[in-house]
Amino acid sequence: MNKRVFFVIAIFSILAMTFASAAAPAKTASFAGAQFIQGKGLVLTFNVSGKFSAGELKGSIYVYGEKSYQMNCYYKDNTDDTVLGCVAPDKLKMFAGKGAVARFGNFGFYITIPSTGYYCNGNEYLLATGRVTLADGTVVDWQYPYSYPDFGNGPDVAGQMEAFDKAYYKSLGLQVVDWDFIFEGCKNTLTPPTP
């Protein structure tokens, strides 16, 4: 009798484990890309399935030979739980081109810290728009290259433009409190905007 009871309990246990594991959906994640976004930092995007808890959405990035940096993840849209965005500090720009490991939940991904630059071919012009906000509340919209000296197509055009604006407004006794850059693309010829 004991063998029969043990056998029945074992069968029910196996069936219960099978149905329980089938009922819990598996979590998956795949790396979709990374870029620096002005004012946010390094933003990594992942395609995911399964629901991640708040604890699992707290991650980190370890830069090889350096240290770990905090990374906070969130669902990109309240109605779409298939895209996860993760934000890490802007200071990771100094490690552009270096290898790193991004982790959240039980997942880890080998990535390369992306370049912060905006590139165009040597015969093309980089086009950008943006906005400068001053401490007194004044907002100035700008277009590159029309509003600036020619900084070329190099990797740090945005950094050069931001430094130029801050120095220019400081020379007027004004303080820049926010500076936005939007890369518009590359063109072979320039047509000045109509006033």
pLDDT of res. 93: 77
* pLDDT tens-digit series, residues 131-186: 888 999 999 888 776 666 666 655 566 777 788 888 888 999 988 888 777 766 66
User: In the structure, what pLDDT confidence band is assigned to residue 21 with cuts at 50, 70 and 90?
Assistant: very low
pLDDT of res. 77: 67
User: In the structure, what pLDDT confidence band is assigned to residue 36 with cuts at 50, 70 and 90?
Assistant: confident
5, pLDDT greater than 60: no
**Residue, of 42 and 72, whose pLDDT is higher:** 72
Displacement of CA 125 from its chain's centroid (Å): 26
3, pLDDT greater than 70: no
Q: How is the chain classified by DSSP, letter by letter?
A: -HHHHHHHHHHHHHHHHHHHHHHSPPPEEEEEEEEEETTTEEEEEEEEESPPPTTTTEEEEEETTS-EEEEEEEEEETTEEEEEEEEE-GGGGGGTT-EEEEEETTEEEEEEPPP------TTSEEEEEEEEEETTS-EEEEEETTTS---TT-TTHHHHHHHHHHHHHHHTT--EEEEEEEEEEEESS--PPP-
Angstrom distance (rounded) from CA 191 to CA 175: 32
CATH of domain 28-112: 2.60.40
The sheet with strand 176-187 has its strands ordered as 139-144, 125-134, 176-187
Please state the rounded mean pLDDT for residues 86-108: 87
Which pTM value belongs to this model?
0.51
Q: Which two tokens stand for residue 3?
A: 């063998």
64, pLDDT greater than 70: yes
User: Domain segments of the chain: what residues?
Assistant: 28-112, 125-187
User: In the structure, what pLDDT confidence band is assigned to residue 4 with cuts at 50, 70 and 90?
Assistant: low
